[in-house]
Amino acid sequence: MSGKLEDKVAIITGAGQGVGRGIARAMAKEGARCVVADFNDESGSAVVTELEAMGGEALFVHCDVTSRESIDSAVARTLEVFGQIDVLVNNAQRAPLTPTAVMDHTDEIIDLCFETGFRGSFRFMQAAYPHLKASRGNIINIASGAGLEGLEGQAAYGAAKEAIRALSKSAAREWGRDGINVNIICPLANSPGVASLLKYAPEMEKRMTAGQPLGRIGDCEADIGPVAVFLASEDSRYVTGHTLPADGGSSMIR
């Protein structure tokens, strides 16, 4: 396959479903060789099958982003198979399936959000750094409107996502001299996480889209994927340290 990402190798964490899967599919369509890094072997392998059916090259690696050893193994396997890393998408994140009031947050909830999201992103960035420096590559970190806007019931999740944004901006400053661009996407998309939230709080959909210029929740592949492709391509070579809300305009109406 040829396209904007031809000859590039992209690692996408949490790519077994939702936004990660959508990004992987969009990148594969543009010629990227995609490494689907996921904790769920079944769903991760299924996405690889999808990408190969589309004519793309793909690899599944089992990866637990709470473990440096697992991350190092995923990076080593990527290099063994493809020989390079050009793009890292830190998408993996776990959080409670139901809204949780601030006073009901436990240390376990906080640890879950920060270990998988913030620390997982931090660890993967460190592990991939020398290889991204060699390729003058791109890092795309996934944050959230829950952090930008301080959504009710999502304190720990939003805090972890804002920590990812702070990390991204610091890395953009430090690693720019190495030719590495670091940017952030804040998506609003029909991921399993959003579906779970709406199941328990259906009124949230109206709140999410009320007054929103485009009036809908986005599609993981069609709406979020192309934004990630842009940030992974040469088209964004002069863009770094920025947050792009791919949210139909939701963030500008708060």
The verdict on whether 238 is a catalytic residue reads no
Chain centroid to CA 71: how far?
15
> How many of the other CB atoms lie within 10 Å of CB of 78?
23
The active-site residue, picked from 129, 157, 200, 238, is: 157
Dist. CA 178–CA 218, nearest whole Å: 34
Chain centroid to CA 155: how far?
19
The structure tokens listed for 222 are 């069609």
CB 46 within 8 A of CB 23: no
CB 32 within 8 A of CB 232: yes
Residues 6+ apart with CB under 8 A from 110: 156, 159
Dist. CA 203–CA 197, nearest whole Å: 10
CB 224 within 8 A of CB 140: no
Please list the active-site residues. Answer: 157
